Amino acid sequence: MSTVQRPPPPSPPTKNAPLRAPPDPEAAAARGESAAALLARGGRSLAMSGFVNAGSVAVGGDATTDVVGGGVTGAAADVYMAASVRAQYKATAVPSGVYSTACTEGTVQGAADGARIAALSARFRAGHRSTAAKYGDFFEARRQAITASHGCSYEERLVGTYPRVAAAMTLGAAEASRACVRYAAPASPAEAYMAASVDRQMKARAAAGGTYAPSCTDGSVGGEAEAARVAALATRYRTGAAPAGARAAAAYAASKYARVHFGHGCSYEEAVFDAYPAVAAGMRPSTARY
């Protein structure tokens, strides 16, 4: 009687198996493989390397943004790298490691805790946005971050994969150089009027119906809106009391930032941004959520 030799059973996978090396994305693309197939083949290392575009991977990887690829690992990498980007921008804004009074918006005790609660509340509401709103915010933040990447292909691929990194670059680039509207110091009544008009248009675009949505409301208890208004006035006062060199540097940074991000190659707009830095500081991306 002849016996049939059966192949040995496959060995069970180990619990701490090493990560597989990611495949070559260029060669796989030439063979016609999709990004989802690459992700399945490459494992977590492919998601960490940034070869997968967020728009090509199935939705649902991240509970907050729903646009980052790589599942839980991709979301964790997004959070970690965004925190690193914010730390670098803070180090750029405060090289000595000690915040000056120009960087402090709190005027009363408890203002710092109120700002922390507002940030946590905004992050919670961001997770309840619709998928269309999440993708719209991601694409706008990615567009602004690619503009700020100075033509670096690595940074462009990074912000095209991780939405939190793109948001951190968009916000940090304006804050570190003081090109934000909070640091604008109009030099004439005409500039103040034009800056207020631009700010009103930016707010009308964020709330087209005239009523702010819950995603645009940072306050959680009564009185926080008044505290935010006082903090804005305090920031404006400290900006006016800053040295002339600091004000000139902020005005130049605001004009440069607006020309690069919002000028659209229009010579008239670029001339307005150069002549009125406060108007340039009032220009903001189409999304009010970061």
User: pLDDT tens-digit profile of 191-208?
Assistant: 999 999 998 888 888 777
Q: What is the DSSP letter of 184?
A: -
**Mean pLDDT of the chain, nearest integer:** 72
The answer, yes or no, to whether residue 27 has pLDDT greater than 60, is no
Rounded Cα–Cα distance for residues 204 and 206 (Å): 5
Listed by start position, the domains of the chain span 25-52, 58-94+101-176, 180-204+227-290
- Cα→Cα distances 95→77, 87, 88, 176, 250, Å: 26, 11, 10, 11, 16
Record the tokens describing residue 235, joined without a space.
Answer: 């920031």
User: The dihedral of CA 162, 261, 89, 112: what is its sign?
Assistant: negative
Q: pLDDT by residue (tens digit) across 88-128? A: 888 887 788 777 666 666 666 777 777 777 777 777 777 77
- Interacting residues of 19 by C-beta distance below 8 A, sequence separation 6+: 43, 44, 45
Contact 71, 61 (CB under 8 A): yes
Q: pLDDT by residue (tens digit) across 211-230? A: 766 666 656 666 777 777 77
The DSSP element (H or E) to which 99 belongs, if any, is none
Phi, psi of 206 (to 5 degrees): -70, -30
If one counts every other C-beta atom within 10 angstroms of the C-beta of residue 39, the result is 23
Rounded Cα–Cα distance for residues 89 and 177 (Å): 9
Rounded Cα–Cα distance for residues 221 and 114 (Å): 9
Q: pLDDT by residue (tens digit) across 243-285? A: 888 888 888 988 988 998 888 888 898 899 999 999 998 888 8
pLDDT band at 40 (very low <50, low <70, confident <90, very high): very low
pLDDT number for residue 204 = 83
Length of the chain: 290
158 or 9, which is more confident: 158
Half-sphere exposure of 83 (CA within 13 A, CB side): 6
pLDDT number for residue 289 = 64
Rounded Cα–Cα distance for residues 156 and 279 (Å): 28
The answer, yes or no, to whether residue 60 has pLDDT greater than 60, is no
Phi, psi of 246 (to 5 degrees): -65, -40
pLDDT number for residue 205 = 81
pLDDT number for residue 221 = 67
pLDDT number for residue 65 = 47
If one counts every other C-beta atom within 10 angstroms of the C-beta of residue 145, the result is 26
